[in-house]
């Protein structure tokens, strides 16, 4: 069992100890749930989905609260419904929310916990590869609007995260591949030899990498934005919604696009583009946007991305000094690169 710690600076919510929380990675990690719950909690609201067949035992009075399956459940209506059901049950800010599921569950339950009674502790039991290496770590919670992904949310650090790798054996192939899309991202964030590690070691390496970014920048005011590598196009593809892509698959396409865009802007050479292609190929991930994609429609959605600035389109791009947030990227360069990576 890997036991890691996410260190946090002043002003960042954390339980059970000031300034940090544990992340447990390995087979059977969910059975350590009782040991990481806030000691004062007397009730646990267990948020999950019908398709998630993972049982947890909090050791206290617990009640399941199901949300709808799929990305469509990641909206404000779901958050309101959860908060109203918690209120009727009598959940207090001294109790705990336990999110059992993938990124949709941890994002929704985490955001609802952040706003209910102005903050209830939350523990994430991550059951998908994507949630274990990324979504459940770091306290970014939120839901979607029709205008874009994750446009409404809050920073709300969990009390603990349990990444039980036993739960990954039953994932559908495309759901697992979606997690590989987020895992591939870490190959460009400094995690070396990732594809050669065992599953437990690979998940732990990704968690350790993300924890280092979160510790340095808990509220994404600087360096932590680099964790969004590949996500600007990915979120646009998901928002347009006309393409059959899971989140991690869209991230993989976004990584290939970002490498090509950096090359077009003279920031990297062809060798760097080829390196991106090799990593994505090794994980069996796509590197092309669908042939029927509309570049101008994607461009308009990318303008609404959270990273966008007054200087125009903003991307995380590779360069001579590694990954950087680059603002003011010209429209014509983006459109030409979208055409280049269109299947």
The pLDDT profile of the chain, 343 residues, written as one tens digit per residue, is: 999 999 986 545 444 344 789 999 999 999 999 999 999 999 999 999 999 999 999 999 999 999 999 889 999 999 999 999 999 999 999 999 999 999 999 999 999 999 999 999 999 999 999 999 999 999 999 999 998 888 999 999 999 999 999 999 999 999 999 999 999 999 999 998 998 999 999 999 999 999 999 988 888 888 999 999 999 999 999 888 767 889 999 999 999 999 999 999 999 999 999 999 999 999 999 999 988 888 999 999 998 876 665 567 999 999 999 999 999 999 999 999 999 998 7
Query: 74, 124, 182, 238: which is the annotated catalytic residue?
Result: 182
Query: Could you tell me if 206 and 133 are in contact, meaning their C-beta atoms sit under 8 angstroms apart?
Result: yes
Residue 69 domain-assigned (yes or no):
yes
Domain with residue 299: its CATH number is: 1.20.1090.10
Residue 137 domain-assigned (yes or no):
yes
Query: 177, 210, 264, 276: which is the annotated catalytic residue?
Result: 210
pLDDT of residue 291: 83
Do both 271 and 198 map to the same domain?
no
Query: 88, 118, 296, 321: which is the annotated catalytic residue?
Result: 118
Last-in-domain residue among 184, 216, 248: 216
Do both 89 and 163 map to the same domain?
yes
In 3D, which of 223, 155, 159, 147 has the Cα closest to residue 189? 223
pLDDT of residue 16: 38
pLDDT of residue 275: 96
Q: What is the pTM of this model?
A: 0.91
Q: Which two tokens stand for residue 255?
A: 């990584």
Do both 11 and 38 map to the same domain?
yes
Residue 319 domain-assigned (yes or no):
yes
Do both 208 and 237 map to the same domain?
no
Residue 181 domain-assigned (yes or no):
yes
Last-in-domain residue among 216, 242, 277: 216
Residue 221 domain-assigned (yes or no):
no
- Domain count within the chain: 2
Do both 238 and 139 map to the same domain?
no
Q: Could you tell me how far CA 130 lies from the centroid of its own chain?
A: 7
Do both 103 and 144 map to the same domain?
yes
Phi and psi dihedrals of 325, rounded to 5?
Answer: -85, 125
Query: 30, 149, 185, 235: which is the annotated catalytic residue?
Result: 235
Distance CA 128, CA 322 (A): 29
Query: 185, 224, 260, 264: which is the annotated catalytic residue?
Result: 224
Query: 231, 246, 260, 276: which is the annotated catalytic residue?
Result: 231
Domain containing 277 equals: 229-340
pLDDT of residue 42: 95
Last-in-domain residue among 173, 189, 216: 216
220 flagged as catalytic: yes
Strands 148-155 and 160-164: unpaired
Do both 178 and 259 map to the same domain?
no
Domain with residue 22: its CATH number is: 3.40.50.1970
235 flagged as catalytic: yes
231 flagged as catalytic: yes
Do both 132 and 19 map to the same domain?
yes
Q: Could you tell me how far CA 201 lies from the centroid of its own chain?
A: 19
247 flagged as catalytic: yes
Residue 165 domain-assigned (yes or no):
yes
Query: 220, 260, 263, 307: which is the annotated catalytic residue?
Result: 220
Do both 161 and 130 map to the same domain?
yes
Query: 75, 144, 150, 228: which is the annotated catalytic residue?
Result: 228
Q: Which two tokens stand for residue 302?
A: 């990318």
């Amino acid at each position: 069992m890997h036991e890691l710690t996410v260190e946090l600076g002043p002003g960042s919510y954390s339980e059970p100890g000031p300034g940090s929380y544990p992340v447990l990675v390995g087979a059977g990690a969910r059975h350590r749930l009782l040991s990481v719950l806030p000691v004062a909690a007397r009730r646990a609201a267990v948020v999950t989905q019908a398709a998630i067949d993972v049982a947890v035992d909090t050791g206290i009075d617990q009640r399941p609260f199901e949300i709808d399956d799929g990305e469509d459940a990641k909206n404000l209506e779901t958050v309101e419904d959860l908060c109203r059901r918690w209120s009727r049950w009598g959940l207090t800010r001294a109790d705990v929310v336990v999110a059992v599921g993938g990124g949709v569950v941890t994002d929704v339950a985490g955001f609802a916990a952040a706003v209910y009674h102005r903050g209830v502790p939350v523990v994430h039991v991550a059951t998908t590869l994507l949630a274990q290496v990324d979504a459940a770590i770091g306290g970014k919670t939120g839901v979607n609007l029709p205008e874009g992904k994750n446009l409404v949310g809050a920073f709300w650090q969990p009390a603990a995260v349990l990444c039980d790798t036993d739960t990954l054996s039953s994932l559908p192939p495309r759901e697992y591949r979606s997690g590989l899309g987020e895992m591939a991202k870490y190959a460009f964030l400094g995690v070396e030899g990732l594809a050669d590690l065992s599953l437990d070691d690979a998940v732990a390496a990704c968690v350790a990498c993300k924890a280092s970014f979160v510790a340095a920048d808990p509220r994404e005011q600087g360096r932590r934005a680099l964790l969004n590598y590949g996500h600007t196009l990915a979120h646009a593809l998901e928002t347009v919604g006309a393409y059959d892509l899971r989140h991690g698959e869209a991230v993989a396409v976004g990584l290939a696009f970002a490498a090509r865009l950096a090359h077009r802007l003279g920031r990297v050479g062809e060798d760097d583009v080829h390196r991106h292609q090799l990593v994505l190929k090794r994980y069996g991930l796509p590197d092309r946007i669908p042939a029927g994609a509309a570049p101008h429609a994607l461009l308009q959605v990318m303008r609404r991305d959270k990273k966008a600035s007054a200087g125009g389109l903003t991307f995380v791009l590779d360069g001579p000094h590694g990954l950087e947030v680059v603002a003011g990227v010209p429209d014509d360069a983006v459109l030409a690169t979208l055409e280049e990576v269109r299947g």
